[in-house]
Amino acid sequence: MLTVPNRILIVRPSALGDVARSVALLASLRVAYPDAAIDWVVQDSFVDAVRAHPALTRVIPFPRRDVPKITNLLSVGRRWVGWMAAIRRSRYDMVIDAQGLLRSAIIARLSGAPRRIGHADAREKSWLLMNERVKSTDSHAVARSLALALAAGGKRVADLRLTVPPKCIEWWESKRRTLIGEDSYAVLAPTSRWVSKQWPAERFDQLARWMIASKLVSRVIVVGAESEAAQLSGMTARSEPWCVDLVGRTSVGNLMAVLREAAVIVANDSAPLHLAVGLARPYVGVFGATDPRLVGPYLGDRWVVSAAGISPDPHAYRAARESCLRSIDVESVANLAMAAMRSPEWFQRVASGEPSQGTTHA
């Protein structure tokens, strides 16, 4: 019979959207082990996504900039050695590799935890470093996290709620008073790392103008990473007085604070969409080469507009050179945004893990 763990480590450094979707794993473990210390290794730039979560004991920032050194054993630096030694000194009873890559598996293995739980089909042969391998019958990312929780002795608690750090809420309260006061607003997240995930910026531009003209909201806020600003050359609405351009001007925590009070969020398959799920805000997801049945908002198929011809290869979108979302018209997205705004309770119930609120994933 397995002993009850006193110290548990979750290893899920990135990506930001995947970190948000893995919160259900944390919630499930906390219900099963109310007295355990539960820590989380997360990329240093993403710590605000989970730092304030009430189920978490401690967040451990992963020094992402040192990854090139980590993968080359001849140039491992003192920072990495000291960082890994500190984890080992924590004497974890159990570690869960929710990332499923070689680097996360190495962290799990070097932690010294006697129980190492991971996916049986993890990439880069990383499953070889696990001594408990989990096969999931459901292919959705959240369901796979919950399968890890069950294997660890946890309960199946699909609670995806995120907690915004207080300092970030204070930042937005101050910023909002200056920028828009009490006006209602929509958030548009038009950017994405991959071209095949990008609904054209001109369509987002048209959507923004329609939202204002139809008085759906009083303001539109545009968000995105500074490195992705060039993608918005076709979005002239950013220069309008009713549009607030926050591209490249928010940290992860500050972005969460902005999303937390939005009337509706429209986003590509990107981090803001998955943060919106955890913040229980109405959203619309615009999907191209990625499959929402695998990586879409959990139980939120009804709030997704997909382009025709999804590739059967889940990683083919990386090689696409042109957007496959041009077939999605503005009217379809606008109508779905209106419907989402009329159903705020639905988003709150799903985020909190209440059952039977959406379609299942198989």
Q: What is the pLDDT of residue 359?
A: 45
Length of the chain in residues, anyone? 362
CA distance 305 to 312: 18
Sign of CA dihedral 226, 227, 230, 231: negative
Residue among 49, 24, 26 nearest 257 (CA): 49
pTM exceeds 0.75 for this model: yes
What element of type H or E holds 350?
A: helix 344-351
Q: What is the pLDDT of residue 361?
A: 42
Residue 193 burial (10 A CB sphere; 0-12, 13-18, 19+): middle
Residue among 142, 166, 169 nearest 156 (CA): 142
Q: What is the pLDDT of residue 259?
A: 98
| Amino acid letter for position 19 | V
pLDDT, tens only, 237-293? 999 999 999 999 999 999 999 999 999 999 999 999 999 999 999 999 999 888 898
Using the 8-state DSSP alphabet, how is residue 263 labeled?
A: S
Using the 8-state DSSP alphabet, how is residue 328 labeled?
A: S
Under 8 Å between Cβ of 310 and 327: no
CA distance 345 to 219: 23
CATH number (3.40.50.12640, 3.40.50.300, 3.40.50.2000, 3.40.50.2300) of 7-151 reads 3.40.50.2000
Q: CA-CA distances (angstroms) from residue 334 to 180, 202, 266?
A: 23, 14, 9
> H/E/C letters for each residue in 100-136?
CCHHHHHHHHHCCCCEEEEECCCHHHHHHHCCEEECC
Q: What is the pLDDT of residue 75?
A: 52
How confident is the prediction along the chain (362 residues), in pLDDT tens digits per residue?
568 999 999 999 999 999 999 999 999 999 999 999 999 999 999 999 999 999 999 999 998 766 554 555 445 567 788 899 999 999 999 999 999 999 999 999 999 999 999 999 999 999 999 999 999 877 899 999 999 999 999 989 999 999 999 999 999 999 999 999 999 999 999 999 888 889 999 999 999 999 999 999 999 999 999 999 999 999 999 999 999 999 999 999 999 999 999 999 999 999 999 999 999 999 999 998 888 988 999 999 999 999 866 555 556 666 665 667 888 999 999 999 999 999 999 999 999 998 644 444 43
CA distance 250 to 257: 10
Which CATH class name applies to 166-351? alpha beta
Q: Is 99 helix (H, G, I), strand (E, B) or coil?
A: coil
CA distance 260 to 256: 6
Q: What is the pLDDT of residue 77?
A: 63
The strand pairing partners of 25, in sequence order, are: none
| Amino acid letter for position 82 | G
Q: What is the pLDDT of residue 76?
A: 53
Measured at the CA of 194, the angle between CA 11 and CA 292, to 5 degrees, comes to 70
CA distance 71 to 60: 20
Q: Is 362 helix (H, G, I), strand (E, B) or coil?
A: coil
Q: What is the pLDDT of residue 360?
A: 42
Using the 8-state DSSP alphabet, how is residue 240 labeled?
A: S
Domain with CATH 3.40.50.2000 in the chain: 7-151, 166-351
Q: What is the pLDDT of residue 82?
A: 87
pLDDT, tens only, 33-61? 999 999 999 999 999 999 999 999 999 99
Q: What is the pLDDT of residue 48?
A: 98
CA distance 319 to 201: 20
CA distance 224 to 34: 37
Write the DSSP string, 170-218.
Answer: HHHHHHHHHHTTT--EEEEE---SSGGG---HHHHHHHHHHHHHTTS-S
Q: What is the pLDDT of residue 311?
A: 58
